[in-house]
Amino acid sequence: MNNSNRPVRLHWMEDYKYLFKVVLVGNAGVGKTCLVRKFTQGIFPPGQSATIGVDFMIKTVKVGNDKIKLQIWDTAGQERFRSITQSYYRSAHAIVLVYDVSCQPSFDCLPEWLGEIESYANRRVLKILVGNKVDKGDEREVPERIGTDFSDVNHFDYFLETSALDATNVDQLFEQVATRLTNDMKVTDERVHQYRADATNSSANSSGPIKLIDRAQTQLNSCCSSRQ
């Protein structure tokens, strides 16, 4: 534990354009931890025991020319950690809901998870559905078609099937998350700049209290993530 003595705030000060929080949820044993490990460390940990509480990893990716920092929260799927994991929903920029294609019950629980997302997460959070363990071939219980349909019906922003074991789509999953969030953020940034320009150019007749709050809200949403 050599790094335990480093300055407390060091890694917030590194040079990156945006920092996004990504939260992985889903039933216990669908492979959330393995997905995260595969992506952040390139390893598939065999015999991974169930996550306790939440785990968290950081990885920087590039979107175009921008350095994007992904802060990935890997939550425990077991029921007893629910109230801890729920508290992470609200500040998440993206929620990745994972099920196991070889385990029908994990797919059947998706509506329950969606309910959680709806009640705790930000309305505009990026929702991504992932069917993991496609390497299991014959043992598959949930066809890709079913996953796609579920994703469409429930307005997920993106759906894909992955395998942490053979690395299928793992990098793509997180790159998609980073790219989509970055693009969204750039749009918001532009809008904020527009607001600022409006505020300085126009005179008294423009804004009112309602608009004031809106503007504050817009900036709140952007400022929490675009630290540079």
Partner 1 sequence: MPESLLHSKFLSGGVPAGRKNGARKETKSEKPAKNDEFEFDFDFTRKLKELRLELEIKKREEERIEKDIAIILEENTIDGGEQNRSFGLAVTRLNNHMLLAENSAKQLTSALKNISSLADTISGRVSALDMAKTRVVGCLQLAGDMRDLGVCAEGIDDAIRSEDFETASQHIHRFLTLDQAVFQIREFKQKDATDSIRHSYEVLSSAKERLSKILKNRLTDAVSKEDVGEMQRFVKLFPMIHESEEGLKRYSVFLNAKIDKLAEDNLRIMRSGGTDDNRRNVLYADTLFMFFEGVAGIIDSNLPVLEHSYGMDNLLKFVTILQERIDEFFRQLIEEFETRRKIPHLVRQVEGRKSEESAPDALEIDAVASEICMMNQSVEMYWRFVGRRIGKYDDSPRDMAGEDDDEIDAEKIAEQQRLRKEAKEQNLDKLMNRSRVGTKIQELIGTYCLFENFYMLKSINLAIKSDDKEDAAGLTSSVIDDVVFIIRKSIRRAAGSGNVDSVGATINNATALLDTSLQDFFKKNIQSGYPSSNFASDALQSAQTAYSAYQQGKPVKDSQESQKEQFLLTLNNAAKISELLVDLQKDLVTEWSGVKRPAVEKDKLEHATTQIEDAAKRLALFAKHGVEELFRVAFKPKIRQGAEPYEDIDRQMTMQDLEYFEAHDPFIEQFLASVDRLLVEHEKILFPDNYSTLLLLTSSELARQIENVLQKCQFNRYGALQLDREYRQICAYLTNVAGWNAREKVARLGQIVALLNVETIDEAMDVWQNSKTLTTSVRTLTLPEVKKTLSLRADFPTVAIKALE
Q: What residue ranges bind partner 1 (CB under 8 A)? A: 1, 3-4, 8-9, 12, 49, 52-56, 71, 80-84, 87-88, 90-91, 199, 203-204, 207-209, 212-213, 215-216, 219-220, 223-224
Of 75 and 168, the one with the shorter C-beta distance to partner 1 is 75
Of 104 and 221, the one with the shorter C-beta distance to partner 1 is 221
Task: Copy the structure tokens of residue 88.
Answer: 């992470």
Q: Write out 3-54 in H/E/C secondary structure.
A: HHHCCCCHHHCCCCCEEEEEEEECCCCCCHHHHHHHHHHCCCCCCCCCCCCE
Residue 3 CB, nearest distance to partner 1 (Å)?
6
Of 179 and 226, the one with the shorter C-beta distance to partner 1 is 226
Cβ neighbours for 125, distance < 8 A, ≥ 6 positions apart: 89, 92, 93, 94, 95, 117
Task: Check: CB of residue 23 under 8 Å from CB of residue 88.
Answer: yes
Residue 151 CB, nearest distance to partner 1 (Å)?
27
Of 154 and 207, the one with the shorter C-beta distance to partner 1 is 207
Task: Copy the structure tokens of residue 168.
Answer: 């299928």
Residue 80 CB, nearest distance to partner 1 (Å)?
4
Residue 146 CB, nearest distance to partner 1 (Å)?
31
